[in-house]
Amino acid sequence: MTKQASATATSPLSSRSAAPDGLAQGLETAFLAVRNETERRAAPLSPEDQQIQSMADASPIKWHRAHTTWFWEQFLLGEHAAGYRPFHPDFAFLFNSYYVSAGPRHARNHRGDITRPSADEVGAYRRYVDAAVVKFFREAGEDELRALAPLVEVGLNHEQQHQELMFTDILHAFAQNPVYPSYDKDWRFPAATRTGDHWLTLNEGIHTVGHVEDSFHFDNEKPAHRALVGPVKIARNLVTNGEWLAFMRDGGYRTATLWLMDGFAAASKEDWQAPGHWREVDGAWQLMTLAGVTPVDPDAPVCHLSYYEADAFARWAGKHLPTEMEWEVAARAGQLNDAFGIVWQWTRSSYSPYPGYRAIEGALGEYNGKFMVNQLVLRGSSLATPDGHSRVTYRNFFYPHHRWQFTGLRLADYV
C-alpha cells in the first residue's frame, strides 16, 4: 500500500532556499539521503529474500526498491526532464502500483512472481534514475526547481512510506519461515515510557485539527478545521503485552460478545488466538521480530493488532478507542507517552475526507483520496517509520483486518 500526498502541499522551500548551497543542493542532499536509506534497509537481504511476496498485502523488497524508483521516473523525470529516456520500456508496467492515470500495471498479488528483473538489475535501475535526478537538480533553473520542490517532497515522503513497508513485509515473510530468520540479530524492540498518572483528561473544547503549518504534509491532513473534542480521558501509555495476555487468559479471543461481527468472523476464519507474529511454545508466548523470535515482554507495547482486536480489547477493558481528533489534541499537547516511534495506534475514526477535501488533479490525485472508504485511521508512527517522516496530523490508514503492520493501541474513557 502506498499512501498519499499532495502536489499542492506546502514545502519547506524557505529553509532550503536559505541554505548556504541553495535549493538545488538542498534537494539533492535530501533526495540522496532518502534513496540511500532504502538501500540501507535492503542491504542485509539476499536476492532470494527480496523476491518473496508472502501474501497479497505485502510486496517483495525488490518491488519496493523498483516501484519507488519508477515513481521518480514517472512523475519527475518523465514529465519534467527534457530528453529523459526510461531505463527499461517494461518497468512502468511492472512497477506502477495503483495509478490508473499512469497506465496499465501488473497485478498486485502477483508481484512475487516476477523473477526478472533481478535484484541486481533493480539496483542498476536505481542508480540510473538517481544519476538522472541529480543531473536534473543540477541543471534545472531556480524557478523550475522551486516549482517542482513540492513534487520532490511527495517523492521523498512516498519512498519513506515504502521504507516502513519494507520492514513490515520482510518481517511477515520471515515469520512464515519455520526457522524464523532474523533481519538483524542485534535489533531490539523499543522500550516504552510509563508514567504513574495514567489518564490525561481533555475538557470539552473546540480545537483546530489537521495540518496548518507551512511544512510538508499529505493532502489527507487538509483542510484544517474546527472540531469539538471532549470531555474525554486518554491513556498516556500504550497497552502492553502483559495487559493483552490478561485479555487472552480471560478468553478474549473466544468471547463473541466482545467483538464486532465482522471482527469475530475474521478472528474465527484466521484462527486468531493472539496478536500477529505470536506463537506459543511449551506454554510460553514468543514474538517474531526483526531480530527473530523473542519471548513476549509483558512490559512492552502490544504490537501487530488488527482494528478488530483493538476494538474487542477496549470493550473487554470497559473502555473505548479514542477518535483521531481526540488523539491529535492530546498529542499536540505533548501529553501522550510513545505517541511516536513504537506502534501506530488504532483510532475508532473512519478514514474519511476532512470537510472540503478534494483530491488534486492528475495522477498524483490518486495518492490518497481514492482510498477514503472502509478503512480506519491510525495515528502516531512506528518503530519502522523513518526519521523525520511523522507528525501530529499524520493520518495512516489500514483495513480493519490488517495486522502485519506495527500496530497497537491506547485506550480512551468517557466516565
Which region among 2-10, 133-141, 166-174, 388-396 touches Fe ion (by CB under 5 A)? 2-10
Question: Does 390 participate in binding Fe ion (rule CB under 5 A)?
Answer: no
How many residues bind Fe ion (CB under 5 A)? The answer is: 2
Question: Does 59 participate in binding Fe ion (rule CB under 5 A)?
Answer: no
Q: Select 245 or 363, whichever has its Cβ closest to Fe ion.
A: 363
Question: Does 2 participate in binding Fe ion (rule CB under 5 A)?
Answer: yes
Angle between helices 119-139 and 61-72 (to 10 degrees): 20
> For the chain, how long is the longest CA-to-CA vector?
66
Q: Which runs of consecutive H residues, i.e. helices, occur in 253-349?
A: 261-270, 307-316, 324-332
Residues 79-98 within binding reach of Fe ion (CB under 5 A): 97
| Pairs from 205-208 (Cβ < 8 Å, separation ≥ 24) | 205/229, 205/230, 205/329, 207/325, 207/328, 207/329
Measured distance CA(360)–CA(338) in Å, rounded: 33
Measured distance CA(340)–CA(254) in Å, rounded: 31
Q: Select 72 or 272, whichever has its Cβ closest to Fe ion.
A: 72
Ranked by CB distance to Fe ion, the top (closest) residue is 2
Q: Select 50 or 323, whichever has its Cβ closest to Fe ion.
A: 50
Instruction: Compute the least distance from the CB of residue 161 to Fe ion, in Å.
Output: 7
Q: Select 2 or 323, whichever has its Cβ closest to Fe ion.
A: 2
User: Residue 285 is which amino acid?
Assistant: W
Q: Select 2 or 168, whichever has its Cβ closest to Fe ion.
A: 2
Q: Select 158 or 172, whichever has its Cβ closest to Fe ion.
A: 158
Pairing mode of beta strands 278-281, 232-235: unpaired
Hey, is 79 helix, strand or coil?
A: helix
Q: What angle do CA 242, 339, 215 make, to 5 degrees?
A: 160
Site string for Fe ion, 21-50 (x = CB under 5 A): ------------------------------
> Which residue ranges make up the site for Fe ion (CB under 5 A)?
2, 97
